[in-house]
Amino acid sequence: MIETVSAMELPVEERLRIRKHRVLPLHPTGKEKRICVVTGTHGDELEGQFVCYELLRRLKAQPEYVKGIVDVYPALNPLGIDSISRGVPMFDLDMNRIFPGTEEGPMMETLAKHIVDDMAGADMCVDIHASNIFLMEMPQVRINEETAEKLVPYGKMINVDFVWVHSNATVLESTLAYSLNKIGVPTLVVEMGVGMRITKAYGYQLVAGLLNLMKELGIWEGEVEQVKEPIVSSDRAVGYLNAEKAGIFLPQVEIGDMVEPGDELGQILNPLTGDVEEVIEAPIAGMVFTRREYPVVYSGSLLGRILGGKEDREEERA
Amino acid sequence: MRKEVIYSLASPYREEMKVTAYRFGHGKKAACIVGSIRGNEVQQLYVCSQIIKKLTELEASGAIVSSNEITVIPSVSHHSMNIGKRFWAVDNTDVNRMFPGYDLGETTQRIAAGVFEEVKNYDYGIQFASFYMPGDFIPHVRMMDTGKQSASLASLFGLPYVVIRKPRPIDTTTLNYNWQVWDTNAFSIYTNETDEVDEASARQAVAAVLRFLTRMGILRYHNHSGYIATVIAEEELRQIKTNVGGIYRRLKHPGEEVHMGDVLAEILHPFEGEVLSQIIAPTEGIIFFAHKKPLVTENEVIYKIIRRLHE
């Protein structure tokens, strides 16, 4: 059943329509749990599109195993996805900075309010992101430390490679996930893959995780795969690789590689002079979980992240 | 006047981006003025250029009170401005959402950190800012309600209005907010325009800054006393929204007094030209903000009215 969550008239012969696909059990009892699977807040993040398709395909193939309500929202920012724009076109606005929204505000804030209202009362929400066009991310769940105690157990059910518990930043209080967690809808943020592309293997991995999570919640009774036991990063250091020089970055590592301090991870090249501007070395030992895909870099551009060991974190704290 | 590059950033294919500060007078860090932080803030750049021109003349005539330094940074965003982009040229991030910055962080965090290092620790910080909604304001001074703001100081600019805004999470990374956190009295000045130069409101802004610097004992200058400002809390403004999308015909403009029942605007059918909706004033007052672009969506905020205020 496809429903419109919110619709607004655009200036000329078109409505901006946010839609969801609601899957119900064959024989509803009225006491079902509900999960929301949401993506497409940033118009350049497409990994979630395949996840929505594949999840719905499997649910439709075995409707007898659906025991709860599954709401799938493939595109919170349909204008952005349709026009290859990360933000909301016309407003140059990051849609994930206007939640929980308000009826009193401009159009997009009103839409944000309608979205939150629609999800309110759900038993679980999974908000799927795909980094941006610059960075490739290993499948991971990101959890604000304020909500870690409640959410980490769910993060372990969803078949990601690791769960990153990060500190609170005031600016992130305007995200959909923060707003939903605040009103009692446990919300996991998944980051995986890279902007403007679809990594099919990651899509299958997350669909397996979603079905497992749904099974744990009593929403799905079909077969599920054995899920990965993720690394939880709350007690581990994260090493950041930022460019110091401008140029063209060529990586020499793959996502998931284990590296040692001083290992060469890539180079920043100067195509005009033929010189190597900078050699990028691993600052700590650990696993590469973020890697830059877009080659043009300035000083400061993020080139990668490494998940270190527990001893690094203890050193950091010391 | 001393001209100094306070931050530079190498570019892979373009010339190095240099952020330039113009310094006037010597001594304690009295006032810092920042112009365009976003690439479409042409009016903000223009106003700063006029302030620099005027301060150069005033310094030459000995009008800067001794032991005071005034710094003006006309542009942080010309790398974006030169290619017609509002936000950072490469990743579309907003430098004015990166303060206080981080010198080991990502590019726009580094730019913000480089700039903030130079602009902090002044007694007074003045930024020419812009708003994300497309429209015109009455010229005003805007302050964040951080508990450290002083509306009485803001009224010394002599602009007609001072607006106090409760900060939202997204505001905590702006220059204005961080100035206040670092104990600078911070003011954002809004003139009528952003993408285009508006001479009249630019002159008003230059006069307001010179008036303020004079009243704070930083300049010796004689100019008009300006207005005794009306102070408004932003949440008191009455917002008026569209109920349909279409072509927008603005009938009332910022600064105009309106009465309950007045027709503020009309929304026309985009193909047939018929009036689909009349936007009626729900209250009497002065128009503070009016949408400007010719098209509107449904539910767009097109007017903000200062309720029950008269000319």
Question: Are both A266 and A227 inside the same structural domain?
Answer: no
DSSP code of A96?
G
CB contact under 8 A, A10 and B169: no
The answer to whether residue A318 scores a pLDDT higher than 60 is: no
The answer to whether residue A42 scores a pLDDT higher than 90 is: yes
User: Nearest residue on chain A to B134, judged by CA atoms?
Assistant: A91
Contacts of A256 (CB under 8 A, 6+ apart): A138, A161, A287, A288, A289
The answer to whether residue A312 scores a pLDDT higher than 80 is: no
Mean pLDDT for B39-48 is 96
Question: Are both A203 and A247 inside the same structural domain?
Answer: no
B105-155 residue pLDDT tens = 999 999 999 999 999 999 999 999 888 777 888 999 999 998 888 889 999
CB contact under 8 A, A171 and B297: no
Question: Are both A220 and A245 inside the same structural domain?
Answer: no
When CB atoms are compared, the residue of A12, A171, A299 closest to B107 is A299
Mean pLDDT for B257-275 is 97
Beta bridge partner(s), residue B164: B143, B233
Helix locations, A3-139, DSSP H: 47-61, 78-82, 107-119
The answer to whether residue B33 scores a pLDDT higher than 90 is: yes
| A 149-188 residues inside an 8 A Cβ radius of B | 170-174
pLDDT of residue A315: 56
Rounded CA-CA distance A96/B98 in Å is 16
B10 touches chain A (CB under 8 A): yes
Q: Are B258 and B189 in contact (CB under 8 A)?
A: no
Rounded CA-CA distance A194/A46 in Å is 8
Rounded CA-CA distance B143/B171 in Å is 11
CATH code of A286's domain: 2.40.50.100
User: Nearest residue on chain B to A244, judged by CA atoms?
Assistant: B104
Instruction: Give the max Cα distance, chain A.
Output: 70
User: Nearest residue on chain B to A270, judged by CA atoms?
Assistant: B12
Rounded CA-CA distance A25/A44 in Å is 33
Confidence of residue A311 (pLDDT cuts 50, 70, 90): low
Q: Is the ipTM of this complex over 0.90?
A: no
Helix B199-215 to helix B42-60 angle, to the nearest 10 degrees? 50
User: Two tokens at B243?
Assistant: 């109920």
Phi, psi of B43 (to 5 degrees): -60, -40
CATH code of A190's domain: 3.40.630.10
The answer to whether residue B276 scores a pLDDT higher than 90 is: yes
- How many Å lie between the alpha carbon of A94 and the closest alpha carbon of chain B? 10
Tell me which H or E stretch contains B303. Answer: strand B301-307
Mean pLDDT, chain B, whole residue set:
95
Mean pLDDT, chain A, whole residue set:
94
Beta bridge partner(s), residue B268: B247, B275
B9-30 residue pLDDT tens = 999 999 999 999 999 999 999 9
Domain boundary among A232, A254, A279: A232
Question: Are both A222 and A257 inside the same structural domain?
Answer: no
Question: How many structural domains compose chain A?
Answer: 2
Rounded CA-CA distance A175/A100 in Å is 7
B279-306 residue pLDDT tens = 999 999 999 999 999 999 999 999 999 9
- How many Å lie between the alpha carbon of A251 and the closest alpha carbon of chain B? 17
B61-85 residue pLDDT tens = 999 999 999 999 999 989 999 999 9
**Among positive and negative, which fits the CA dihedral A40, A41, A43, A46?**
negative
Name the residue with higher pLDDT: B311 or A62.
Answer: A62
B235 touches chain A (CB under 8 A): no
Helix locations, A140-257, DSSP H: 148-155, 176-182, 200-217
Residues in B closer than 8 angstroms to A296, CB to CB, are: 12-13, 90
CB contact under 8 A, A300 and B298: no
Question: Are both A163 and A266 inside the same structural domain?
Answer: no
B174-224 residue pLDDT tens = 999 999 999 999 999 998 888 889 999 999 999 999 999 999 999 999 989
Rounded CA-CA distance A128/A45 in Å is 9
CB contact under 8 A, A300 and B299: no
Q: pTM (2 decimals)?
A: 0.91
Q: Are B247 and A9 in contact (CB under 8 A)?
A: no
The answer to whether residue A147 scores a pLDDT higher than 70 is: yes
pLDDT of residue B133: 77
When CB atoms are compared, the residue of A11, A248, A298 closest to B297 is A11
Question: Among B310, B299, B300, B263, which residue's Cα sits nearest to residue B282?
Answer: B263
Question: Are both A159 and A301 inside the same structural domain?
Answer: no
Confidence of residue A316 (pLDDT cuts 50, 70, 90): low
CB contact under 8 A, B12 and A132: no
Taking the C-alpha atoms of B97, B102, B103 and B108 in order, what is their torsion angle to the nearest 10 degrees?
-20
**Tokens 């365009």 found at:** B36
pLDDT of residue B60: 97
- For chain B, domains (ranges, CATH) are 2-233 (3.40.630.10), 237-307 (2.40.50.100)
Question: Are both A30 and A131 inside the same structural domain?
Answer: yes
The answer to whether residue A310 scores a pLDDT higher than 70 is: no
Question: Are both A228 and A240 inside the same structural domain?
Answer: no
B233-250 residue pLDDT tens = 999 999 999 999 999 999
The answer to whether residue B47 scores a pLDDT higher than 70 is: yes
CB contact under 8 A, B108 and A300: yes
Question: Are both A158 and A178 inside the same structural domain?
Answer: yes
Question: Are both A108 and A249 inside the same structural domain?
Answer: no
CB contact under 8 A, A174 and B239: no
Helix locations, A40-146, DSSP H: 47-61, 78-82, 107-119
Rounded CA-CA distance A3/B298 in Å is 20
Helix A200-217 to helix A47-61 angle, to the nearest 10 degrees? 50
Question: Are both A198 and A274 inside the same structural domain?
Answer: no
Confidence of residue A29 (pLDDT cuts 50, 70, 90): very high
Question: Are both A153 and A257 inside the same structural domain?
Answer: no
pLDDT of residue A264: 97
The boundaries of the domain holding residue A90 are 2-232
Give the distance from CA A83 to its chain's centroid: 20
Q: Which residues of chain A form beta strands (DSSP E)?
A: 2-9, 15-23, 34-39, 69-73, 124-129, 135-144, 162-166, 187-193, 231-232, 238-242, 247-251, 258-259, 264-270, 275-281, 286-292, 296-297, 302-307
Mean pLDDT for A226-238 is 88
Confidence of residue B169 (pLDDT cuts 50, 70, 90): confident
Q: Are B162 and B118 in contact (CB under 8 A)?
A: no
A13 touches chain B (CB under 8 A): yes
Q: Are A161 and A289 in contact (CB under 8 A)?
A: yes
The angle at the Cα of B296, spanning B290 to B301, to the nearest 5 degrees, equals: 45
- How many Å lie between the alpha carbon of A110 and the closest alpha carbon of chain B? 8
